[in-house]
Structure 1
Amino acid sequence: MTAHTPTFAQSVWLVAEREIGSKLRSKAFLISTGILFLIALVSVVWGGFAAQSQSATPVAVTSQTAPVVASLGDSVDVTQVSDADEARGLVADGTVDAAIVPGGAEPFGYTIVADSSPPAGLMQMLSLTPPVELLNADPTDGFARYIVALGFGLVFFMAALTFGSTIAQSVVEEKATRVVELLISAIPVRALLAGKVVGNTILAMGQIIGLAAIAVIGLTVTGQSALLSGLGAPIAWFAVFFLFGFVLLAALFAAAGAMVSRQEDIGSTTTPLTFLVMAPYFLVVFFNDNELVMTIMSYVPFSAPVAMPVRIFLGTAQWWEPLLSLAIMLATCAAAIWVGAKIYENSILRMGARVKLSEALAG
């Protein structure tokens, strides 16, 4: 009786199951995932409650509109001025956050004047919402923009770096212990690589889905429905971009691990990839308000998973831009898989000194 030889797809799934099972049996992985989810939940809830706890809001009023804020007590810091033009001047130079001036549609009889975004805290204090006049309209609140950019950047950075490093370490461990020789005697080398990528991608996407669920729950509990409604499409696009971006990086991390034979040498081949993962996080944090930089980042495959969802949240991306960026991502992903597979295949059985990149590509 001849032994059944698994197909390529079956081989890939066998390796993927092995990767998933080993992680789910690891207490360190489960504890770190639990801590990550807890930190995310605490951050979302704390941010929501912090946004709701407002200090006294500086407000300028005229003699006609002073009664409007009379019942608000210590929640507003009132500055009374002679006319509406003077009130607008105080808003323009930043002396007050908002001004309440005469005029406006019924039943209000007054209008709130603000600089770049509606004063949400003041509007919540008033029993009715009057018309809002913006001197310098800004479609998105600056703090919300920064928090969303930071969130997407941090999630991509942590997930890609954590799982990417794990893949590289796993490859080196199998190579050092000669386990890889047993594995490739039963399944193709490329099936081994593909299984590692698929298994870790499933685990990484599981964490992304879990973090998205936590964000939805946290924003709902803290009453941030406006922010939640604006995050629906960006989170969906982030998941799509992250999927292909992670596959791209996972293939390269596996190839980097195959080029060395000792755990101590991993840093020499994975450091360039680490910088590629770190760059989008720092760029999106520091340049989230720079439209030119964000536009360029949204078309670079290594930063598109972070920059494009942020631009979608800000409303600055045209409907076709995510599709074009995704097409570039898919093409780059295919090229990275091809290069990574070639390096992995040519390096996985070579022991001793680090394999040079030119040798790994040439075979």
Structure 2
Amino acid sequence: MNASSQNSQIDFWSASGIVAQREITVRLRSKSFIISTIIMLIFIVAAVVLMPRIGDLFGGPGSLAVTPETTEVAEALEGYELVEVADEAAAREAVANGQADNALVTGDNPTGLLVISDREVSTTLVELLSVSPEVELLDENAPNPFLAMFIAIGFGVVWFSSALTFGSHTANSVVEEKQTRIVEMLLASVPARALLTGKVLGSAVIAIAQVAAIGLAAILGAAIGGNSIVLDGLAEPILWFIVLFALGFVMISALYAAGAALVSRTEDIPATTQPITWLIMLPYIAIIIFFNNPLALQIMSYIPFSAPVAVPVRLFLGSTEWWEPLLSLAIMFVTTALLIFFSARVYENSLLRTGKAMKWREALRPSA
């Protein structure tokens, strides 16, 4: 029987919808998936509520920028790392760029002292001084550095774990269908590209729903904890994370499906999907290494595999122009389209091949 006439029995999008619905149903019927998601959401709420307090508890006194006029006073304070600067302007700069947590300079007030801080004054510092100095905040709405790092790592973990978990599920599904010969029956009525599209869309719907739930859990935690900075500053980053994650996950899921189609045994999946795993793992590692490097974060926001992490982090830190997220989105859209085309070619040419694992280059050759 002619394959093309069979494939025409169901149009492309109807076939894709049927496959996507099946993927969603299978996932939602998994008790382990539901239970693990609930536990994760509870953990996120608790973490957002408690983490700022943990940061304050273990943060210590910190560093203190001092001028020649205030060095003697500062040396009497216990626990502070002194950063000597030339004058008040240099002290302000040290606090603004994160070189020092606070600064102690001379002031035109009865105490003769002025404490300069970025987002909130250190009560410990004020208490240690024999007199109550005048206090000046450079940016009272600036995020807590420890909290900002925690949120950055959070975005990285969600991107890495969700993409890896759902991508691996897609890969296993492809190989299981090859092993049981179900794919041969499916291809009798469903075009290969519709099968790939349905798998990717089905996984994407579940993954995006889970990420949206994680975002709501984080906002709920901020509301419970009364952290107005997090509550006000997280909404836009989370929205952009969901948008970029949606595109990024479609890209990653398609690559995982293509990589899995190259093999016929479940145990061979890691061999062909390892490069994809590294592509989603590196942003998580990079966000930790380059968190305090604005240029590195800016570059990462234009790289499709790291943009879902870098763009929301830069938005939370307030270090991005209005047009930069849009540029990142455009770059990711184009990259996703190209990689879907690439994955579809590999998937079509290797799905019915069994036995020895195929190479990526071999699967890209025109089929005979």
| TM-score, L = length of structure 1 | 0.81
Say whether 1:19 aligns with 2:23: yes
How far, CA to CA, are the matches of 2:55 and 2:249 in structure 1?
33
Match of 1:93 in 2: 82
Match of 1:281 in 2: 284
Say whether 1:331 aligns with 2:302: no
Partner secondary structure for residue 186 of structure 1? coil
CA shift digits 1:185-244 (9 cap, x unpaired): 111111110001101101001111111111111111111111221112111111111110
Percent of residue pairs bearing the same amino acid type: 42
Match of 1:322 in 2: 325
Say whether 1:223 aligns with 2:226: yes
Partner secondary structure for residue 202 of structure 2? helix
**Where do 4+ consecutive residues of structure 1 move more than 4 Å?**
51-60, 83-92, 94-104, 108-112, 120-125, 136-140
Say whether 1:259 aligns with 2:248: no
How far, CA to CA, are the matches of 1:123 and 1:53 in structure 2?
15
Say whether 1:9 aligns with 2:13: yes
What are the residue-to-residue correspondences of 1:152-231 with 2, within 5 Å? 152-231=155-234
Match of 2:311 in 1: 308
Match of 2:116 in 1: 114
Counterparts in 2 of 1:223 and 1:123: CA distance versus 1, 3 Å: farther
Alpha-carbon distance, 1:254 to partner: 0.4
Residue 111 of structure 1 contacts residue 133 of structure 1 at CA under 8 Å; is this kept in 2? no
Residue 102 of structure 2 contacts residue 118 of structure 2 at CA under 8 Å; is this kept in 1? no
Partner secondary structure for residue 113 of structure 1? strand
Say whether 1:47 aligns with 2:51: yes
**Which residue of 31, 36, 43 maps to 1:32?**
36
Match of 1:151 in 2: 154
Alpha-carbon distance, 1:358 to partner: 1.6
Structure 1 unaligned regions, length at least 5: 61-82
How far, CA to CA, are the matches of 1:192 and 1:343 in structure 2?
13
How far, CA to CA, are the matches of 2:48 and 2:140 in structure 1?
27
What letter matches 2:169 in structure 1? Answer: T
Match of 1:344 in 2: 347
Counterparts in 2 of 1:178 and 1:59: CA distance versus 1, 3 Å: closer
Partner secondary structure for residue 185 of structure 1? coil
Residue 168 of structure 1 contacts residue 257 of structure 1 at CA under 8 Å; is this kept in 2? yes
Structure 2 unaligned regions, length at least 5: 1-7, 85-100, 128-133
Alpha-carbon distance, 1:300 to partner: 0.6
What letter matches 1:37 in structure 2? Answer: L
What letter matches 1:253 in structure 2? Answer: Y
How far, CA to CA, are the matches of 2:17 and 2:122 in structure 1?
51
Residue 262 of structure 2 contacts residue 357 of structure 2 at CA under 8 Å; is this kept in 1? yes
Q: Report which stretch shifted further, 27-36 or 246-255.
A: 27-36
Counterparts in 2 of 1:53 and 1:284: CA distance versus 1, 3 Å: closer
How far, CA to CA, are the matches of 1:56 and 1:149 in structure 2?
22
Counterparts in 2 of 1:23 and 1:266: CA distance versus 1, 3 Å: same
Match of 1:237 in 2: 240
Alpha-carbon distance, 1:39 to partner: 2.3
Residue 48 of structure 1 contacts residue 219 of structure 1 at CA under 8 Å; is this kept in 2? no
Residue 63 of structure 2 contacts residue 83 of structure 2 at CA under 8 Å; is this kept in 1? no
